[in-house]
Amino acid sequence: MFRNILIFCFVFCCNFLQAQNWQLVWEDDFDGTDLDLTKWMHEYGTGSQYNMWGWGNGEKQYYQSQNTTLSNGVATIEVKEEPSGIIDSWGATSYYSSSKISTKGIFDFRYGKVEARMKTIDGQGFWPAFWMLPIDGDWPCDGEIDIMEQWGGNYFTNGTTGAAHLGTCPYSQSSHFYQNFSTYISSGSYADEFHTYSVIWKEDTITWFVDDNEIFSIDPSSYWSVPSQHDWPFNTNQWYIMINLAITQSGPNANTVFPNQIQVDYVRVYQDNITGVSDVIYDADFINYSQDYLSFENFDYKFKNLLIYNLDGRISSNHDVNGKSKVNVGHLNSGMYIIEIEDFDGNKINKKVIIK
């Protein structure tokens, strides 16, 4: 992946205060009249092109781009009946169409707050989802994070769920594990108005929220199989976002209304902005990046040590600089980091960077 450092903060001391101060790093407010293809891509078909029948779940819909439209700052994914049928790459016929949008290959990340404001759907057989998978991952060993899933009931959709999956590859039912929750609205339906669905995802922790209310949280100890048999996969890889409206294998019934839709007001990704205050010791702008190296060659002072922290304050890398003018950071994954550099007198400065 193309790697570049965008430096956007000021100098602060090594004993920085770790605070949850969200910095918006990606968003789509669905302005305009067409889906922004610099942020999203469309999935097509039934999954047969990936040798997955019904996207691996026996789903009945055929995904196509024209079922996603934008108007008045809202993205609409519409599900329709297709009386003439749509034939997939296996020659199978689908009698429903819908859409699935994804940031795969366009935007991916690890850790942060991921949120969407959505108005969902009533009706038996409907299955809207807002979820994440790792780039080039295998399922379920590399994990799955379901921020929101709902299954339409016979009349009202009064429950919403979220889950995190892990297991071994290739898939085996006996070694596939997940933790999930269900929460219910006190009256009416989640389809009556817009609601926010989000996770705060940190190292070793995922926490779910509905309308900013904390609902559920997990860590490695939530799975009896971690770490004795299977790895906790949520601290590795870069992950992408998906939103889709599926038709379950059991399908609709006589009360299910077509055409129908879900609406998305926005999707946002934040990362934690570690802040602090200190006296300025040096101007940290002398730190430069080129071809996987942090360099200090344009500064006439010598440094002893360099630490790189992730956003949870854990050390990602420790370098004995000892007067050298550059350090290789090509091993770092994309994300936000704090660089702490120390001179031979024990003075330290810190600078925040985003590595992409």
Residue tagged active-site, from 78, 115, 144, 340: 144
- What number is the average pLDDT over the span 343-352? 72
Which range among 173-187, 313-327, 336-350 has the greatest average pLDDT? 173-187
Q: Rounded to whole angstroms, how far apart are CA atoms 276 and 145?
A: 32
Proportion of the chain above pLDDT 70, given as a percent: 82
Q: Rounded to whole angstroms, how far apart are CA atoms 116 and 98?
A: 19
Are 176 and 208 members of one domain?
Answer: yes
Q: Is residue 6 part of a domain?
A: no
Proportion of the chain above pLDDT 90, given as a percent: 62
CATH of the domain at 162: 2.60.120.200
Cα 297 from chain centre: 37
Count how many domains the chain has.
Answer: 2
pLDDT of residue 110: 92
Q: Rounded to whole angstroms, how far apart are CA atoms 273 and 71?
A: 33
**Average pLDDT across the chain, whole number:** 84
Q: Is residue 310 part of a domain?
A: yes
**Is 82 among the residues known to form the active site?**
no
pLDDT of residue 278: 33
> pLDDT by residue (tens digit) across 181-223?
999 999 999 999 999 999 999 999 999 999 999 999 999 989 8
Q: Rounded to whole angstroms, how far apart are CA atoms 254 and 44?
A: 27
pLDDT for 230 beyond 70: no
> pLDDT by residue (tens digit) across 10-54?
333 333 333 457 889 899 999 999 999 999 999 999 999 999 999
Are 50 and 189 members of one domain?
Answer: yes
pLDDT of residue 285: 57
What's the angle, vertex CA 22, arms to CA 146 and CA 134, rounded to 5? 30
Are 174 and 243 members of one domain?
Answer: yes
Are 136 and 220 members of one domain?
Answer: yes
pLDDT for 237 beyond 60: yes
Q: Is residue 5 part of a domain?
A: no
Q: What is the DSSP string of 242-300?
A: EEEEEE-TT---TT--SSEEEEEEEEEEEEE--B------S-GGG-EEETTEEE-TT-S
Confidence of residue 301 (pLDDT cuts 50, 70, 90): low
Q: Is residue 9 part of a domain?
A: no
Q: Which of 272, 295, 312 is the last residue of a domain?
A: 272
Are 135 and 176 members of one domain?
Answer: yes
In one-letter notation, the amino acid at residue 173 is: Q
**Token pair for residue 339?**
């660089």
Cα 67 from chain centre: 23
- CA-based nearest residue to 26, from 87, 115, 93: 115
Strands 61-63 and 93-98 turn out to be: parallel
Are 187 and 318 members of one domain?
Answer: no
> pLDDT by residue (tens digit) across 136-175?
999 999 999 999 999 987 778 999 999 999 998 988 888 8
Q: Is residue 11 part of a domain?
A: no
- CA-based nearest residue to 217, from 226, 229, 208: 208
pLDDT of residue 273: 61
Confidence of residue 247 (pLDDT cuts 50, 70, 90): very high
- What number is the average pLDDT over the span 344-355? 69
pLDDT of residue 238: 93
Are 40 and 137 members of one domain?
Answer: yes
pLDDT of residue 152: 84
**Is 149 among the residues known to form the active site?**
yes
Burial class (CB in 10 A: 0-12, 13-18, 19+), 181: middle
Are 266 and 297 members of one domain?
Answer: no
Going by C-beta distance under 8 Å and a sequence separation of 6 or more, which residues neighbour residue 340?
14, 306, 307, 308, 309, 348, 349, 350
pLDDT of residue 317: 78
Are 228 and 339 members of one domain?
Answer: no
Are 210 and 259 members of one domain?
Answer: yes
Q: Rounded to whole angstroms, how far apart are CA atoms 199 and 116?
A: 10
Are 338 and 219 members of one domain?
Answer: no
Q: Rounded to whole angstroms, how far apart are CA atoms 245 and 262?
A: 7
Q: Which of 251, 272, 293 is the last residue of a domain?
A: 272
**Residues belonging to the chain:** 356
> pLDDT by residue (tens digit) across 134-143?
999 999 999 9
Q: Which of 252, 272, 292 is the last residue of a domain?
A: 272
Domain that holds residue 156: 22-272
Confidence of residue 292 (pLDDT cuts 50, 70, 90): confident
CATH of the domain at 293: 2.60.40.3080
Q: Is residue 26 part of a domain?
A: yes
Give the torsion through C-alpha atoms of 266, 275, 145, 186, to 10 deg: -60
> pLDDT by residue (tens digit) across 250-268?
999 999 999 999 999 999 9
Q: Is residue 131 part of a domain?
A: yes
- Between 73 and 285, where is the model more confident? 73
- CA-based nearest residue to 311, from 292, 288, 335, 334: 335
pLDDT of residue 306: 78
Q: How far apart are the first and last CA of the chain?
A: 7
Confidence of residue 341 (pLDDT cuts 50, 70, 90): confident
Q: Rounded to whole angstroms, how far apart are CA atoms 57 and 150?
A: 15
- Between 67 and 7, where is the model more confident? 67
Are 318 and 184 members of one domain?
Answer: no
Residue tagged active-site, from 43, 59, 115, 149: 149
- Mean pLDDT lowest for which of 113-117, 187-191, 329-333? 329-333
- CA-based nearest residue to 230, from 163, 164, 176, 170: 176
- Between 35 and 274, where is the model more confident? 35
pTM of the model: 0.74
Q: Is residue 7 part of a domain?
A: no
